[in-house]
A and B are shown apart, each in its own frame.
Chain A
Amino acid sequence: ETGVTQSPTHLIKTRGQQVTLRCSSQSGHNTVSWYQQALGQGPQFIFQYYREEENGRGNFPPRFSGLQFPNYSSELNVNALELDDSALYLCASSLDNNYGYTFGSGTRLTVV
Chain B
Amino acid sequence: KNEVEQSPQNLTAQEGEFITINCSYSVGISALHWLQQHPGGGIVSLFMLSSGKKKHGRLIATINIQEKHSSLHITASHPRDSAVYICVRNTGNQFYFGTGTSLTVIP
Contacts and interface: CB of A to CB of B under 8 A. Distances in A.
Interface of A: 33, 35, 37, 42-45, 48, 50, 55-56, 58, 88, 90, 92, 97, 99-103, 105-106, 108
Nearest to B43: A103
A89 to B, nearest CB: 10
Does more than half of chain A's interface fall in helix, strand or loop, or is it mixed? Answer: strand
Does more than half of chain B's interface fall in helix, strand or loop, or is it mixed? Answer: strand
A100 B93 contact: no
Interface residues of B, number: 20
A108 B42 CA distance: 11
Given A92-B45, A100-B47, A102-B45, A42 B33 contact: no
B61 to A, nearest CB: 11
A33 B42 contact: no
Given A42-B86, A43-B86, A55 B93 contact: yes
A77 to B, nearest CB: 20
Contacts of B97: 35, 42-45
Given A56-B93, A101-B33, A106-B42, 16 more contacts: A35-B95, A42-B99, A42-B100, A43-B97, A44-B97, A45-B94, A48-B95, A55-B93, A90-B41, A90-B43, A92-B43, A97-B93, A100-B45, A101-B45, A102-B45, A103-B42
B95 A58 contact: yes
Given A55-B93, A56-B92, A103 B99 contact: no
Interface in B74-98: 86, 90, 92-98
